[in-house]
Amino acid sequence: MTTAKNKQSTSLTTDILLVGSGVMSATLASLLSELDSELSMTMVERLPNVAAESTYAWNNAGTGHAGYCELNYTPMNAQGDVEISRALNINASFEVSLQYWSYLVEQNTLPTPQTFINATPHLSFVWGDTDVEFLRKRYELLKAHPLFADMEFSDDVETLKEWIPLVMQQRTAKQKVAATRFNYGTDIDFGALTRCIIEKLNTLNTFDLKLNTQVKGLKKQKNGRWKVRLFDNVSKKTTTIEAKFVFLGAGGGALKLLQSSGIAECKGYGGFPVSGQWLVCNNPDIVNQHATKVYGKAALGAPPMSVPHLDTRIINGKPALLFGPYAGFTTKFLKQGSYFDLVKSLKLNNIKAMFNVGKNNMDLTKYLIGEAMQTHPSRMNTLRQLYPQAVNADWHLENAGKRVQIIKKCDEKGGKLEFGTEIVAAEDGSIAALLGASPGASVSVQAMIQVIEQCFSNQLGTKAWATKMKTLVPSYGESLVADATLLKKVRTRTLKTLKLS
Ligand SMILES: Cc1cc2nc3c(=O)[nH]c(=O)nc-3n(C[C@H](O)[C@H](O)[C@H](O)COP(=O)(O)OP(=O)(O)OC[C@H]3O[C@@H](n4cnc5c(N)ncnc54)[C@H](O)[C@@H]3O)c2cc1C
pLDDT by residue for the chain (501 residues), tens digit each?
A: 444 444 444 548 999 999 999 999 999 999 999 999 999 999 999 999 999 999 999 999 999 999 999 999 999 898 889 999 999 999 999 999 999 999 999 999 999 999 999 999 999 999 999 999 999 999 999 999 999 999 999 999 999 999 999 999 988 878 899 999 999 999 999 999 999 999 999 999 999 999 999 999 999 999 999 999 999 999 999 999 999 999 999 999 999 999 999 999 988 888 888 888 999 999 999 999 999 999 998 776 666 666 889 999 988 888 899 998 888 788 898 988 888 888 888 888 888 887 787 777 777 777 777 777 789 999 999 999 999 999 999 999 999 998 888 888 877 777 888 878 899 999 999 999 999 877 899 999 999 999 999 999 999 999 999 999 999 999 999 999 999 999 999 999 999 999 998
Tell me if 400 CB under 6 Å of ligand 1.
yes
Across-strand partners of 14?
Answer: 243
Task: Give the distance (Å) from ligand 1 centre to CA of residue 192.
Answer: 13
Strand 41-44 and strand 238-248: pairing?
Answer: unpaired
Tell me if 215 CB under 6 Å of ligand 1.
yes
Spatial contact of 202 and 210, defined as CB atoms under 8 Å apart: no
Spatial contact of 208 and 8, defined as CB atoms under 8 Å apart: no
Tell me if 180 CB under 6 Å of ligand 1.
no
Out of 49, 55, 59, 208, mutate this one to test ligand 1's pocket (max ligand atoms within 8 Å of CB): namely 55
Whole-number Å distance between alpha carbons of 371 and 65: 24
Whole-number Å distance between alpha carbons of 256 and 16: 20
Task: Give the distance (Å) from ligand 1 centre to CA of residue 421.
Answer: 12
Whole-number Å distance between alpha carbons of 120 and 292: 5
Task: Give the distance (Å) from ligand 1 centre to CA of residue 461.
Answer: 31
Residue of the nearest CA to atom 53 in ligand 1? Answer: 401
Tell me if 191 CB under 6 Å of ligand 1.
no
Task: State the pTM of this model.
Answer: 0.94
By CB atoms closer than 10 A (0-12, 13-18, 19+), residue 279 is buried
Tell me if 312 CB under 6 Å of ligand 1.
no
Task: Give the distance (Å) from ligand 1 centre to CA of residue 54.
Answer: 3
Tell me if 434 CB under 6 Å of ligand 1.
yes
Q: Is 347 helix (H, G, I), strand (E, B) or coil?
A: coil
Out of 27, 60, 232, 445, mutate this one to test ligand 1's pocket (max ligand atoms within 8 Å of CB): namely 60
Picking from 338, 317, 286, the residue whose alpha carbon sits closest to that of residue 187 is 317
Whole-number Å distance between alpha carbons of 102 and 98: 6
- pLDDT of amino acid 374: 84
Picking from 498, 436, 481, 470, the residue whose alpha carbon sits closest to that of residue 90 is 481
Whole-number Å distance between alpha carbons of 190 and 194: 6
Whole-number Å distance between alpha carbons of 21 and 194: 8
Q: What is the dihedral of CA 114, 115, 119, 122, to 10 degrees?
A: 180
Q: Where are the alpha helices (DSSP H) in 2-121?
A: 23-35, 85-106
Compute the Cα dihedral for 119, 282, 273, 76 and give only its sign: positive
Strand 318-329 and strand 416-418: pairing?
Answer: unpaired
Tell me if 60 CB under 6 Å of ligand 1.
yes
Whole-number Å distance between alpha carbons of 359 and 241: 41
Task: Give the distance (Å) from ligand 1 centre to CA of residue 191.
Answer: 10
User: 431: number of CA atoms within 13 Å, CB side?
Assistant: 27
Tell me if 121 CB under 6 Å of ligand 1.
no
Whole-number Å distance between alpha carbons of 201 and 186: 25
Whole-number Å distance between alpha carbons of 125 and 227: 51
- pLDDT of amino acid 2: 41
Task: Give the distance (Å) from ligand 1 centre to CA of residue 335.
Answer: 10
Please enumerate in sequence order all residues whose Cβ is within 8 A of that of 186, keeping only pairs 6 or more positions apart, or say none.
63, 64, 66, 117, 118, 119, 120, 122, 500
Spatial contact of 153 and 180, defined as CB atoms under 8 Å apart: yes
For 84-111, letters b (16+ CB in 10 Å) and e give bebbbbbbbbbbbbbbbbbbbbeeebbe
Cis peptide before 325 (omega within 30 of 0): yes
Please enumerate in sequence order all residues whose Cβ is within 8 A of that of 120, keeping only pairs 6 or more positions apart, or say none.
185, 186, 187, 291, 292, 293, 311, 312, 314
Whole-number Å distance between alpha carbons of 85 and 289: 34
Atom of ligand 1 nearest to the CA of 336: 47
Task: Give the distance (Å) from ligand 1 centre to CA of residue 342.
Answer: 17
